Structure 1
């Protein structure tokens, strides 16, 4: 068998189920590839390990000692950064399925650190553009004190201020070792309003910490008086927000969701296959986990190696459709592994369009095209008010 590492922070109990169901998608890709004959007649095997806290680096070292040079994961940006140096120094390829921090995009990584989830460089720009176009000029940001929070905050602030807006306050809150069910956000919430009136509150948070922060926001006198637009930068279940947050906050709230284009047949087919197999809807980033397995598999065939991370990295842009020197690619959709394999074995070229949409890896190793749905909560119901697609350099 051909072994590929798979890292997920499954020791983090609060979202254990979500990380597990993301892995289901990768396992589904593994099973599909093996059912179609595998690679060079060999099956692939995902070796799942826990990447929570200090365990991540231990497992990466263990992968290396066992001859595994290709790793899908981990889920979090902070964990990806933590293992990056070891991976780079030991010629290992990392492809995270849900890490989005721009700090990853900016690494000097010898082209060994990749992301199938779109970089926050794009998400920050989309949010800044949308809010400025809709009349917002003075923003305050509450963000997680980690590489994800800092990276997205920096991206949003840079673009918002380039447009002519002003981020009047950036306030971070701790995340390491914090139990958000009891954390007191009183100080952070008060500081958001300490530099005068604001018309938008931008939260770079996960849903659990955001919900807790809103308990303190709803009773803050400045929030009650100013009524700024509340924006959640990260994907979240609208129903969960409505159930757990006061309507004085949720009414008119915006949520930015990374997505494929609406009615994309690959996403539709993936969703159907996943639901039929596991009897649940796919979670956020399941599509990106699925695509990571296929991208590495196709790159193995293209590079004619199953263990050289450097050689596999060299062809990832070619099989994702972003190598402009290649003009004769055949578009490959999901569930077309045999077709793609035959083309690659014959020295042909493919452009893999996955469950998450087009990939088109950019020069940082992240998808070069990003699509975001913008949801507004109205009367307790999420309404999709806009879909925005942005490409590298646009």
Structure 2
């Protein structure tokens, strides 16, 4: 595995200052902000540059493991974006290879990542889990490959020494934790228990929720952690229920399906549960108890137009069953669109050159023309202008650390059918 210096184009991450506005109390958090090499192509009067680019990307998304429920919507987002970029015939053709990230327990990424590296991809989309990304990010940096996650939320990535090769369309858990902590307080709860996964994702979100909730005057009366791969949670449930909290925050992945019935059977109603993006799923009959009234948070704005139908059509056309969940589909779609636009703007498929244009095409440089599709943005770039892509995950507008500065955290609630709907 080669290791080389990125030269003058390399940069270490610095923590950016981002401002936020809470909309309707804790119902959503919207951030607004701005900040501001490789080969380039001369602009052309035609709709595409003189020579088309073939951009090779791979996915490291969860087909197996504790986040497998996120795999279909994320892969559907990638599939739809690739289709639309290629159909636009605007100067970039995307060649995608799909691969499994698994989780930190089954370690499927240990097979996927080296395979994609050997195939010469410019970028990898993934992982969904912050903990998994941490296990291969340095390897990709050494290989000069972009790692672009649609779902990583750990605050640690903001300051990661990544030579400018790590980007994400999901906002940091500093935002989700603030929204969730405020929501619980605004719902009138005073004493809460927290069960969380002991990894980068779980501990990061746990710390923010606890800090925000306690700053509002509430108390965390019990907390218990578990490790990824654990299958028994009786001790954690006993610790929390013994403190008699008036609400329980569950910062888990699919372990929720085991923990939820234990809590309900111990006397804590599901209506007092608060979930997060790692376990907010349309469970239906997959959970043995009613979740009616439970609430949760998930990054992303309310999806407009026919995006969900287009996702389903693209996904089903590949021989898959219809989607049951859309978590991080928009963020995955936007990751591909932004990489394609950056490649077009750079006139190159070199990872460093693409990375050098990602902030610009996202609107982070503050000097582009607004556009909301690959085709429209490509037309601006091919005409010699600067595109500012606003996507389905939000306005994005990357800061110097590769974090989105325009993002929304939605609030959802479960009905009697154990399916969730957005309530704000």
- TM-score in terms of structure 1 length: 0.82
Q: Equivalences for 1:186-197 in 2 at 5 Å?
A: 186-194=234-242, 196-197=243-244
Please tell me whether residue 255 in structure 1 is matched to residue 279 in structure 2.
no
Summarize deviations over 1:42-97 as a string: whole Å, max 9, x none.
52201222333444245433433443232111222221111111122332210012
Higher relative contact order (CA 8 A, sep 6+): 2
Rounded Cα–Cα distance in structure 1 between residues aligned with 2:416 and 2:114: 51
Q: 2:378 aligns with which of 334, 338, 341?
A: 341
Rounded Cα–Cα distance in structure 2 between residues aligned with 1:30 and 1:377: 33
Please tell me whether residue 43 in structure 1 is matched to residue 93 in structure 2.
yes
Rounded Cα–Cα distance in structure 2 between residues aligned with 1:54 and 1:346: 45
Rounded Cα–Cα distance in structure 2 between residues aligned with 1:191 and 1:113: 38
CA positional deviation for 1:110: 2.6
Q: Secondary structure at 2:363's aligned position in 1?
A: coil
CA positional deviation for 1:159: 2.0
Please tell me whether residue 299 in structure 1 is matched to residue 353 in structure 2.
no
Q: Equivalences for 1:26-41 in 2 at 5 Å?
A: 26-39=78-91
> Which residue of structure 2 lines up, in the alignment, with residue 117 of structure 1?
170
Q: Is the 8 A contact 1:231 1:255 kept in 2?
A: yes
CA positional deviation for 1:255: 2.1
CA distance 1:199–1:15, change in 2 (3 Å) = closer
> Which residue of structure 1 lines up, in the alignment, with residue 261 of structure 2?
215
CA distance 1:106–1:43, change in 2 (3 Å) = same
Rounded Cα–Cα distance in structure 2 between residues aligned with 1:315 and 1:321: 10
CA positional deviation for 1:358: 2.0
CA distance 1:73–1:237, change in 2 (3 Å) = closer
> Which residue of structure 2 lines up, in the alignment, with residue 392 of structure 1?
none
Q: 1:285 aligns with which of 310, 328, 331?
A: 328
Q: Secondary structure at 1:218's aligned position in 2?
A: helix
> Which residue of structure 1 lines up, in the alignment, with residue 121 of structure 2?
68
> Which residue of structure 2 lines up, in the alignment, with residue 390 of structure 1?
none
Q: Is the 8 A contact 1:74 1:96 kept in 2?
A: yes
> Which residue of structure 2 lines up, in the alignment, with residue 205 of structure 1?
252
Summarize deviations over 1:98-123 as a string: whole Å, max 9, x none.
22222333423232211122222211
Rounded Cα–Cα distance in structure 1 between residues aligned with 2:420 and 2:164: 39
Please tell me whether residue 330 in structure 1 is matched to residue 369 in structure 2.
yes
Q: Which runs of 5+ in 1 are unaligned?
A: 388-394
Q: Equivalences for 1:1-394 in 2 at 5 Å?
A: 1-12=54-65, 16=68, 18-39=70-91, 43-52=93-102, 53-176=106-229, 178=230, 183-194=231-242, 196-206=243-253, 208-220=254-266, 223=268, 229-234=272-277, 236-238=280-282, 240=284, 244-247=287-290, 250-261=291-302, 264-265=303-304, 268-279=305-316, 280-281=322-323, 283-307=326-350, 309-324=351-366, 326=367, 329-334=368-373, 337-377=374-414, 386-387=423-424
> Which residue of structure 1 lines up, in the alignment, with residue 11 of structure 2?
none
Rounded Cα–Cα distance in structure 2 between residues aligned with 1:154 and 1:344: 42
Rounded Cα–Cα distance in structure 2 between residues aligned with 1:383 and 1:172: 26
> Which residue of structure 1 lines up, in the alignment, with residue 10 of structure 2?
none
Q: Is the 8 A contact 2:369 2:386 kept in 1?
A: yes
Q: Which runs of 5+ in 2 are unaligned?
A: 1-53, 317-321
CA distance 1:162–1:91, change in 2 (3 Å) = farther
Q: Secondary structure at 1:95's aligned position in 2?
A: strand
CA distance 1:380–1:359, change in 2 (3 Å) = same
CA distance 1:305–1:138, change in 2 (3 Å) = same
CA distance 1:125–1:364, change in 2 (3 Å) = farther
Paired residue total: 361
CA distance 1:134–1:218, change in 2 (3 Å) = closer
